[in-house]
A = this chain, B = another copy of it.
């Protein structure tokens, strides 16, 4: 069993919102995560929903502001919210750059020094963390969905595209669509993965789709007042890629909504229901 430490547990909406930490072999550092276990889990294993957060976030942002517990408790969904990057004093970082390093792991496995030893969030999310969750929590691993916000919405889409047999459902709030070309992600890709764009393709949703990866259907919610819409997020490029590959994409544009948790929390319950329909 992977050793795990309980940081806190709080009863909420009938279930338990916990925060846990463990030594990650994958990222060679201590990692923190939030797990919500609904009341139904005392009687039977529950489907598990992975939420990947955006730039600058830890496990805590969605735990505090995401408003997922009410409906997760009603439906019976375990919600796992990992951190967005390796952490700790020994982890290389660019402290003044919010688009790279700590808080900005982009869910890739870095190949470039000095980042390759710790920045392995892809392997962490698809490998070590699911093992920990399966060992420690009452989850039905045959029923998994994945979603996220911005950098994490993109992480969810790419991980779903690469693992269509593992995940039954995928959705995203304001995802980055094409990080190889966006101003806030291309420099990070260069530093994590090197200057050859061929190495970026496994971590770029539009490239993955062009390269033949598929997922049965994807839900995306996007605010029209999102300040990152034009350069950073580029939802129309995801639409183009999906329609070219016959991937059903439900893209909902919401007038006046921004990029924050005030937007995410508004549509959180729609997403939980989307996943529940495919996981129940």
Interface-located stretch among A21-29, A41-49, A65-73, A152-160: A65-73
Q: Is A258's CB under 8 angstroms from B10's CB?
A: yes
Contact with B along A52-74 (1 / 0, CB 8 A): 00000000000011010110000
Is A6's beta carbon under 8 Å from chain B? no
Flag whether A223 is at the interface (Cβ < 8 A).
Answer: yes
Among A67, A262, A269, residue most surrounded by chain B Cβ atoms (within 10 Å) = A262
B262/A17 in contact, CB under 8 A = yes
Task: Count residues of chain A with CB under 8 A from any CB of chain B.
Answer: 23
Bound CA–CA A263/B260 (angstroms): 23
With a cutoff of 8 Å between Cβ atoms, the chain B residues found around residue A258 in the complex are: 10-11
A-B contact pairs, 9 of them (CB 8 A): A10-B260, A10-B263, A11-B263, A11-B266, A12-B257, A13-B265, A14-B266, A64-B261, A70-B265
Residues of A within 8 A of B (CB): 10-14, 17, 64-65, 67, 69-70, 223, 225, 256-258, 260-263, 265-266, 269
